[in-house]
Amino acid sequence: MASVRTLSSRDIQSMRDVGRLAADTLLMVGDHLQPGITTEDINVLVHEYTIAAGARPAPLNYRGFPKSVCTSVNHVVCHGIPAPMTLESGDIINVDVTSVLPARNGWFGDTSATFYIGTPPPLARHVTEIARESLEVGIAVVRPGARVGDIGHAIQSFAEAKGCSVVRDYTGHGIHRVFHDAPSIPHYGTPGTGIILKKGMTFTIEPMINIGHWAVDHLDDDWTVVTRDGSLSAQFEHTILVTKGGCEVLTRRSRPLKNSEDVEWARLGPLASFVPPAPQASDSTNATGA
């Protein structure tokens, strides 16, 4: 099994800096969403905000990806490519931001959320809120000594009990100075299996939750992943650091996300207190997430 990197306190500070930038970028996107905006408009917003911060949008040219952010609408599971496509009331859209800071040779922060455009139908609300809670449920498991399978099991049992399915083909991933590294973090699985989490590891949790079956198909643009049955899909993602007492959510937000966390039906968990943890004397303490 591939070994998993653990970060020094200096590295961790760099991960905090890029995590905050990615979180702020997602907040900015939420502020701009409304019927009539195109996914290409979102791409421009993310690209310019990222460059102005002295960072680089990780998706651009990553394995040939042509844009600076992923925009996945309705039955698109992930890796949707921004285009001159107008969003309409009733759509849901996942916006997945990955920033690299500094722009050259920097650290990666990866976070996504599903947003509501106008008024969503009931199934769109359901899958989005279950995806939001699935991420919270997964984060709550993270502490030194827990296993990767514990995270997947917690998410799968929660989402399936709510009548949804968990996408199998894409997982969370180790992240630091590399975009996608070991360990792989499946959002389904068996408790007590998989690698043991250790203090200083950084990885994403990013459950993709479908209203229908978990099976996916790929469009011939080589990127866009869709549900095979055409059912709606939603996703939330955070970049997480394992700490002595649990974990720190490196991409936590400083305020509620507009058009997602501010709606009256949003099922917000403990992460949504939006209170940043107190300044830390060392990397061994923390408050957020578990």
CB of 63 to ligand MF3, least distance (A): 6
CB of 38 to ligand MF3, least distance (A): 18
SS (H, E, C) 219-241: CCCCCCEEECCCCCEEECEEEEE
Sites for ligand MF3 among residues 221-280 (CB under 6 A): 223, 237
> Which of the choices ligand MF3, Co ion, none does residue 261 contact, using the CB cut-off of 5 to 8 A by kind?
none
Contacting ligand MF3 (CB under 6 A), which of 41, 206, 248, 261?
Answer: 206
Residue nearest to ligand MF3 (CB): 59
In the complex, what is the shortest distance from the CB of residue 156 to ligand MF3, in angstroms, rounded to a whole number?
19
Q: Name residue 22's amino acid.
A: A
Burial (CB count <10 Å: 0-12, 13-18, 19+), residue 8: exposed
Q: Closest CB to Co ion among 110 and 133?
A: 110
What is the contact surface with Co ion in residues (CB under 5 A)?
96, 110, 112, 204, 206, 237
Of 79, 101, 97, residue with least CA distance to 42: 97
Taking CB under 6 A as the binding criterion, the range among 18-26, 62-70, 212-220, 269-277 that sits at the site for ligand MF3 is 62-70
- How far apart CA 143 and CA 151 sit, in angstroms, is 10
Q: Which of 24, 110, 136, 283 binds ligand MF3 (CB under 6 A)?
A: 110
* CB 96 to ligand MF3: min, Å: 4
19, 30, 59, 246: which one binds ligand MF3 (CB under 6 A)? 59
Contact call for residue 83 and ligand MF3 (CB under 6 A) = no
Handedness of CA 45, 54, 253, 129 (dihedral sign): positive
Q: H/E element holding 31? A: helix 9-32
Amino acid at 13: Q
If the CB atoms of residues 83 and 287 are measured against ligand MF3, the closer one turns out to be: 83
- What are the residues whose beta carbons fall under 8 Å from the beta carbon of 89, sequence distance 6 or more? 35, 117, 118, 119
CB of residue 259 to Co ion, shortest distance in Å: 19
Work out whether the CA dihedral 142, 9, 181, 48 comes out positive or negative: positive
**Residue 227 or 283 with smaller CB distance to ligand MF3:** 227
Contact 138, 207 (CB under 8 A): yes
217-241: burial string, b at 16+ Cβ within 10 Å, e else? eeeeeebbbbbeeebbbbbbbbbbb
Q: Where does this chain touch ligand MF3 (CB under 6 A) — which range of 10-18, 33-41, 55-63, 188-196? A: 55-63
CB of residue 59 to ligand MF3, shortest distance in Å: 3
Residue whose CB is less far from ligand MF3, 98 or 251: 98
Residue from 11, 17, 24, 96 in contact with ligand MF3 (CB under 6 A): 96
Cβ-Cβ contacts under 8 Å for 225 (sequence gap 6 or more): 72, 76, 77, 78, 79, 169, 170, 216, 217, 218, 219
Footprint on this chain of ligand MF3 (rule: CB under 6 A):
59, 62-63, 65, 70, 79, 96, 98, 110, 204, 206, 223, 237
